[in-house]
Each structure stands twice: as C-alpha cells, then as structure tokens.
Amino acid sequence: MQMRYRYRIEPTPAQQQMLARVFGCARVVFNDALRVREQAYRAGVKLSDSEIQRRVITAAKTTTERSGTCQPE
C-alpha cells in the first residue's frame, strides 16, 4: 500500500524571499553544471559528477557576478 501526504505551506514574505533565493541559486548551479557537462561531452572528455560540482561551485564562488547569488544574508 502506498500512502501519500500533502502539506500546504504558507510562508511569510521574508520566507518567500529566502526560498526564491535558494531555488534561484539551485537553478544557477544546475544550469552551470549542465553547461560544463555538455562542453566536456563535445570535447570528448569524461568528467565525474563530483568533478563537475567542484568546478561549478568553485567558479560560482570566485566569479563576481555569481558570488552574491548563493551567499546567505
């Protein structure tokens, strides 16, 4: 038997802003990782998931336009 639960959340405006930042950060990191994976595939290079994550997160931290995206307030 499978059971499922549904929960309705009603975040406050401050929580909505924080959730938007967190999901925005996840989207940016995912898109960057996807771009790195596609570039490596086109170049014929095999990269592990951990190598891709390391490259993307390091680049996000050191790039000025990306550094503020995922930083906590």
Cα separation of 13 and 2, whole Å? 35
Which DSSP symbol is given to 70? S
With beta carbons less than 8 A apart as the criterion, state whether 60 and 32 touch.
yes
State if pTM tops 0.75.
Answer: no
Q: What is the pLDDT of residues 25-67, one digit of tens each?
A: 888 888 888 888 899 899 998 888 888 888 787 777 777 666 6
Residue ranges covered by each domain of the chain = 13-67
For residue 24, the one-letter residue type is G
Angle ∠(64,67,72) on CA atoms, nearest 5: 150
